[in-house]
C-alpha cells in the first residue's frame, strides 16, 4: 500500500502542475474547455490526496511499522485516539495533511465559483495548483510520508507524550485549516491583480473562506493556549514562544484583512492595502508552517538541519517577491475612486484598527526574529523575552480593544459630533460606573494597564449590548415580536453585522481574562511532605498523600507509571480535592537499565485544575525520585534478565514504595483570577464568526433566483 500512497503523491504532483498549466493556457488562449479541465484536475488532486491520507491513516491504525513514519511516531501501546492523530504529529504526515486540506478547499472554492468570476478563477486555479505542487514536491523529493523500512522494528517509538492531550491533537488540523483557508483569498487576489479586475468581486467570492480560515486559525491558537495551560506544567497559556507567535501573526493580519475588505466593498477604497494584507497573511501562514519545521529560531546554528528549511525559504521569498512585484505593476489599476471624507468615520477607524493590528504583527515579527536580526547586526546571538513582548504589546492591545468598541457605532463616510455623543453617552456612562465599582470594591487599581483594559472591556460590552438593544427595539416596534424572537431575527437577518458584534464582545471578554490573570495571579513553588500545609492566595492547601498508578493514568494517555499526590484545598466553607500527577513513559534507550528505562524516559505533568468562573486553582506536582534511585539501580542489576512479568512486579513494588514512604515532592500552585473567561471569550468570538460566516437564507434565495434568471435568459435567447 505504501507504493500506492507514493504513486498518489507523484500523480498528484503532475496533476497539480497540469491544473496550473491548463488553466493558464485556457485563460490566455480563451479556450474555456482548458479552464474547465484545469478545474477538474484540482478535484482529481483532492481525490488523490484524500486516498493517500487514508492509506497513511490506515497504516497508523494498524501500527504497520514497515512505514518509517509509523515506526517513528506511533507504537502499539499508543491509545487509539492518539494513533489517529499521530499522523500529523510527524513532519511528513503534517505536510500531507496540509496539501490534502489545500486540495479540498481549492476544490470547494472552484466548484462554488465555476459559473462566476470567469476571468479571475483560471489564474486563481493556477496559483492554488502551484502552491499544491510545491507541497507535493517537498513530499515526493525530500519528505515522503510513505518511505518504508526494509526491516520493520518490532515496536515503534511512540507518540511524544507531551502531545498526548486532546487539545494538542485537534490543534494542528485547526491551524492548518486556517493557514490553508487564507490561500483561497490569496489566490483570487492574485487572479484579480493579473486580470486587472480589482473590484470587490474577488472579495465577495472568497470573503467567507477568509472568515472560516480566521475562525479555524483562532480556534487553533486558543486550543494551543489551553494545551499550554493544562499540559506543559508551567501554568501559563502564552509564553511568546516562536511557534506560538508564528500562528498569531497571520491571524492578526487576517483580522486586519477581514475589516479592511469591508471598506473596499462599501466604499471602493483601500485596494492596494487589501491585496497587500492578503498576500502578507498568506506569506505569514507559510512562515508559520515553516517555523514549526525548521528549528531555525530555537537554535540558530541548527539551520539546515531540517531537510526542507531552504526550500521553504525559497518558496516564501518567491511568494513575497512575486506578489509585491505584481502589486507594484498594477498600482494604477488599484487607485480608488473615493477618498477618506472625514477622520470621524467608520472607514477611518477601520484603517486605524488595521494599523494597530499590523503594528502588533510587526512587533511580534521583530521580537520573534530578533535572534537572527541581532546576530546579523552585532554578530552576537541575543534574544528578547516575554517581558519585552508584554511591554510592547500591552498598549497596542489596549488600543485594539478600545477601537473594537468605537468602530461599531460609527457610520460610513462621516459622523457628526452630535450623533457620536448620542450613541456613546450610555456606554461611556456604563464604563465610568464599572471603573468606579472596580476601584471601590476590588484592588483592580493596583495595575494601571489592567484597570485600563477592564474599562475598555466594559465599554466594548456596553456598546455591543446597546447595538443589540437598539436593533431589537426597532424590530419590536415594527413587528411586535417578543424580545428573544426579535433578537434572533435581528441577528439572523443581519448575520455579518451582529455576528461581528458578538465576536467583538468575545474578544473583549477574552482580554478581560488575560488582563486579570496576568496582573493578579498568585503563585507558589514549594516542596511539601505529606501533612504539610501552605497558603496560596485565599486558599489553604494540604498535601494529604502520595499516589502511584501503573498502566492506567487518569488522562488515558497510556503512561505505564503515574506518580501523583492528593491535596485538600480549603477556602472558607469551600472544600475540594485536587489530584495532580506526573506520567512517566519508558525510554527506548538501550544504555539504560531494564528497570530504570521506565523512569528515565519522557515524563509529563498532568496538572489538576479546579475550574471556576471567578478563579482557577491550578496544581502541578513533581515527585522527587531521588529516594528511589538506589533501589532502581539495584533492580537494574538484579532483574535485567528477568522475564517481563517479573520486571512488572518490581516496578509495582517500586511504585508502592513511593506511595508508602513518599519523599517531599515539589509543587507549583497557582490561583489565577478570571482565567476561565479567556476560553469563554474565545468561544463567544468563534460563535460570532460562525454567525457571520453562515450563509443567510436571503442570500441563498437571491443566488438561486439569479441562476434561474440566467437560465431563463439563455433559453429565451436560444428561442
Residues of this chain that interact with another protein (CB under 8 A) are 89-91, 94, 160, 162-163, 168, 172, 228, 232-234, 236, 239-241, 243-244, 292-293, 295, 298-299, 339, 359, 362-363, 366-367, 370-371, 374, 380-388, 391-392, 525, 527, 600, 602-605, 622, 624, 626, 666, 668
**Shortest distance (Å) from residue 668 CB to another protein:** 6
Distance CA 661, CA 657 (A): 6
Distance CA 380, CA 386 (A): 20
**Shortest distance (Å) from residue 364 CB to another protein:** 11
- Phi and psi, residue 375, nearest 5°: -65, -35
**Shortest distance (Å) from residue 274 CB to another protein:** 18
Closer Cβ to another protein, 127 or 536, answer by number = 536
Q: Are 544 and 568 in contact (CB under 8 A)?
A: yes
CA 515-518-519 angle, 5° bins: 80
Closer Cβ to another protein, 465 or 592, answer by number = 592
| Secondary structure (DSSP) of 187-251 | HHHHHHHHTT--SSHHHHHHHHHHHHHHHHHHHHHHHHHHHHHHHSSS--S----HHHHHHHHHH
**Shortest distance (Å) from residue 95 CB to another protein:** 11
**Shortest distance (Å) from residue 63 CB to another protein:** 19
Separation of first and last alpha carbons in the chain: 55
Of residues 549, 561, 552, the one with CA closest to residue 596: 561
Helix axes 483-493, 495-519, angle to 10 degrees: 100
Q: Are 606 and 182 in contact (CB under 8 A)?
A: no
Closer Cβ to another protein, 302 or 710, answer by number = 302
Closer Cβ to another protein, 166 or 612, answer by number = 166
**Shortest distance (Å) from residue 532 CB to another protein:** 14
Closer Cβ to another protein, 39 or 293, answer by number = 293
Closer Cβ to another protein, 138 or 194, answer by number = 138
| C-alpha dihedral, 373 to 376 to 378 to 380, nearest 10° | 80
**Shortest distance (Å) from residue 604 CB to another protein:** 5
Closer Cβ to another protein, 234 or 694, answer by number = 234
At residue 296, the 3 state secondary structure works out as: coil
**Shortest distance (Å) from residue 375 CB to another protein:** 9
Distance CA 580, CA 585 (A): 17
**Shortest distance (Å) from residue 224 CB to another protein:** 9
Q: Which residues pair with 523 in a beta bridge?
A: 670
Closer Cβ to another protein, 95 or 409, answer by number = 95
Say which DSSP state 305 is in: -
Q: Which residues, in sequence order, are CB contacts of 104 under 8 Å at separation 6+?
A: 46, 49, 50
Cell 492506567, residue located: 552
Closer Cβ to another protein, 354 or 455, answer by number = 354
Host H or E run for residue 365: helix 346-368
Helix axes 91-112, 2-29, angle to 10 degrees: 40
Q: Are 509 and 684 in contact (CB under 8 A)?
A: yes
Closer Cβ to another protein, 201 or 624, answer by number = 624
Give the CA distances from residue 645 to residues 641, 652, 709, in Å, rounded to whole numbers and listed in that order: 11, 10, 77
**Shortest distance (Å) from residue 361 CB to another protein:** 12
Closer Cβ to another protein, 385 or 695, answer by number = 385
Closer Cβ to another protein, 162 or 655, answer by number = 162
**Shortest distance (Å) from residue 716 CB to another protein:** 49
Helix axes 32-62, 91-112, angle to 10 degrees: 150
- Phi and psi, residue 569, nearest 5°: -115, 140
Q: Which residues, in sequence order, are CB contacts of 643 under 8 Å at separation 6+?
A: none
3-class DSSP string for 660-702: HCCCCEEEEEEEEECCHHHHHHHHHHHHHHHHHHCCCHHHHHH
Closer Cβ to another protein, 267 or 622, answer by number = 622
Q: Which residues pair with 27 in a beta bridge?
A: none
Closer Cβ to another protein, 201 or 241, answer by number = 241
Closer Cβ to another protein, 319 or 397, answer by number = 397
Distance CA 132, CA 141 (A): 14
Say which DSSP state 333 is in: G
Kindly list the strands in the beta sheet with 665-673, ordered across the sheet, starting from the edge strand earlier in the chain.
522-528, 665-673, 615-622, 608-610
CA 363-365-369 angle, 5° bins: 120
Q: Which residues, in sequence order, are CB contacts of 530 under 8 Å at separation 6+?
A: 543, 544, 545, 546, 662
Distance CA 278, CA 282 (A): 6
Closer Cβ to another protein, 454 or 584, answer by number = 584
Closer Cβ to another protein, 160 or 494, answer by number = 160
Cell 518511505, residue located: 147
Amino acid at each position: 500500500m505504501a507504493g500506492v500512497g507514493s504513486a498518489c503523491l507523484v500523480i498528484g504532483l503532475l496533476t497539480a502542475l497540469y491544473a496550473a498549466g491548463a488553466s493558464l493556457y485556457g485563460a490566455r488562449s480563451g479556450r474555456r474547455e482548458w479552464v474547465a479541465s484545469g478545474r477538474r484536475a484540482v478535484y482529481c488532486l483532492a481525490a488523490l490526496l484524500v486516498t493517500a491520507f487514508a492509506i497513511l491513516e490506515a497504516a497508523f491504525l494498524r501500527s504497520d511499522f514497515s512505514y518509517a513514519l509509523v515506526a517513528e511516531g506511533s507504537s502499539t501501546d499508543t491509545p487509539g485516539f492518539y494513533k489517529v492523530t499521530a499522523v500529523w504529529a510527524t513532519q511528513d504526515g503534517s505536510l500531507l495533511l496540509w496539501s490534502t486540506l489545500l486540495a479540498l478547499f481549492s476544490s470547494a472554492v472552484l466548484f462554488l465559483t465555476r459559473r462566476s468570476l470567469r476571468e479571475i478563477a483560471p489564474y486563481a486555479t493556477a496559483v492554488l495548483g502551484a502552491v499544491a505542487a510545491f507541497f507535493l514536491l517537498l513530499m515526493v523529493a525530500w519528505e515522503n510520508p510513505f518511505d518504508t523500512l526494509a526491516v520493520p522494528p518490532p515496536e515503534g517509538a511512540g507518540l511524544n507524550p507531551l502531545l498526548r492531550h486532546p487539545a494538542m491533537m485537534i490543534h494542528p488540523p485547526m491551524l492548518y485549516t486556517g493557514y490553508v483557508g487564507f490561500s483561497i483569498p490569496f489566490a483570487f487576489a492574485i487572479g484579480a491583480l493579473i486580470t486587472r479586475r480589482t473590484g470587490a468581486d474577488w472579495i465577495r467570492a472568497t470573503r467567507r473562506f477568509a472568515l472560516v480560515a480566521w475562525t479555524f486559525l483562532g480556534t487553533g491558537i486558543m486550543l494551543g493556549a489551553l494545551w499550554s495551560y493544562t499540559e506543559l506544567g508551567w501554568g501559563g497559556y502564552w509564553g511568546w514562544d516562536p511557534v506560538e507567535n508564528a500562528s498569531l501573526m497571520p491571524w492578526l493580519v487576517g483580522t486586519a484583512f477581514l475589516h479592511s475588505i469591508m471598506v473596499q466593498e462599501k466604499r471602493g477604497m483601500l485596494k492596494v492595502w487589501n491585496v497587500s494584507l492578503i498576500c502578507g497573511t498568506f506569506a505569514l501562514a507559510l512562515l508559520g508552517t515553516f517555523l514549526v519545521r525548521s528549528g531555525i529560531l530555537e537554535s540558530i546554528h541548527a539551520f539546515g538541519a531540517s531537510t526542507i528549511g531552504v526550500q521553504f525559504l525559497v518558496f516564501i521569498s518567491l511568494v513575497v517577491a512575486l506578489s509585491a512585484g505584481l502589486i507594484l505593476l498594477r498600482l494604477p489599476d488599484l487607485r480608488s475612486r473615493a477618498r477618506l471624507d472625514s477622520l470621524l468615520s467608520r472607514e477611518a477607524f477601520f484603517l486605524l484598527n488595521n494599523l494597530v493590528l499590523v503594528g502588533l504583527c510587526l512587533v511580534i515579527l521583530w521580537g520573534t526574529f530578533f535572534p537572527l536580526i541581532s546576530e546579523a547586526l552585532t554578530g552576537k546571538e541575543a534574544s528578547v523575552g516575554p517581558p519585552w513582548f508584554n511591554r510592547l504589546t500591552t498598549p497596542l492591545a489596549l488600543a485594539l480593544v478600545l477601537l473594537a468598541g468605537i468602530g461599531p457605532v460609527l457610520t460610513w463616510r462621516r459622523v457628526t459630533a452630535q450623533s457620536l455623543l448620542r450613541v456613546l453617552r450610555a456606554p461611556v456612562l456604563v464604563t465610568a460606573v464599572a471603573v468606579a465599582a472596580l476601584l471601590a470594591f476590588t484592588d483592580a487599581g493596583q495595575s494601571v494597564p489592567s484597570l485600563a483594559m477592564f474599562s475598555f472591556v466594559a465599554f466594548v460590552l456596553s456598546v455591543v449590548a446597546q447595538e443589540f438593544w437598539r436593533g431589537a427595539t426597532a424590530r419590536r416596534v415594527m413587528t411586535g415580536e417578543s424580545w428573544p424572537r426579535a433578537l434572533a431575527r435581528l441577528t439572523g437577518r443581519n448575520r455579518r453585522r451582529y455576528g461581528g458584534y458578538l465576536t467583538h464582545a468575545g474578544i473583549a471578554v477574552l482580554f478581560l481574562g488575560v488582563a486579570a490573570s496576568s496582573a493578579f495571579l498568585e503563585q507558589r513553588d514549594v516542596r511539601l511532605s505529606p501533612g504539610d500545609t501552605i497558603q496560596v492566595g485565599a486558599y489553604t492547601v494540604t498535601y494529604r498523600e502520595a499516589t502511584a498508578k501503573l498502566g492506567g493514568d487518569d488522562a488515558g494517555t497510556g503512561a505505564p507509571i503515574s506518580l501523583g499526590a492528593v491535596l485538600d484545598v480549603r477556602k472558607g466553607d469551600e472544600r475540594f480535592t485536587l489530584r495532580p500527577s506526573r506520567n512517566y513513559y519508558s525510554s527506548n534507550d538501550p544504555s539504560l537499565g531494564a528497570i530504570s528505562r521506565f523512569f528515565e524516559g519522557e515524563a509529563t505533568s498532568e496538572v489538576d485544575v479546579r475550574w471556576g468562573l471567578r478563579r482557577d486553582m491550578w496544581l502541578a506536582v513533581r515527585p522527587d525520585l531521588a529516594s528511589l534511585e538506589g533501589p532502581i539501580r539495584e533492580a537494574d542489576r538484579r532483574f535485567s534478565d528477568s522475564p517481563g512479568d517479573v520486571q512488572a512486579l518490581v516496578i509495582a513494588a517500586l511504585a508502592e514504595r513511593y506511595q508508602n514512604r513518599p519523599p517531599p515532592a515539589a509543587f507549583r500552585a497557582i490561583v489565577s483570577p478570571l482565567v476561565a473567561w479567556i476560553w469563554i471569550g474565545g468561544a463567544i468570538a468563534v460563535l460570532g464568526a460562525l454567525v457571520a460566516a453562515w450563509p443567510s437564507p436571503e442570500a441563498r434565495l437571491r443566488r438561486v433566483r439569479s441562476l434561474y434568471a440566467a437560465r431563463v435568459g439563455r433559453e429565451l435567447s436560444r428561442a
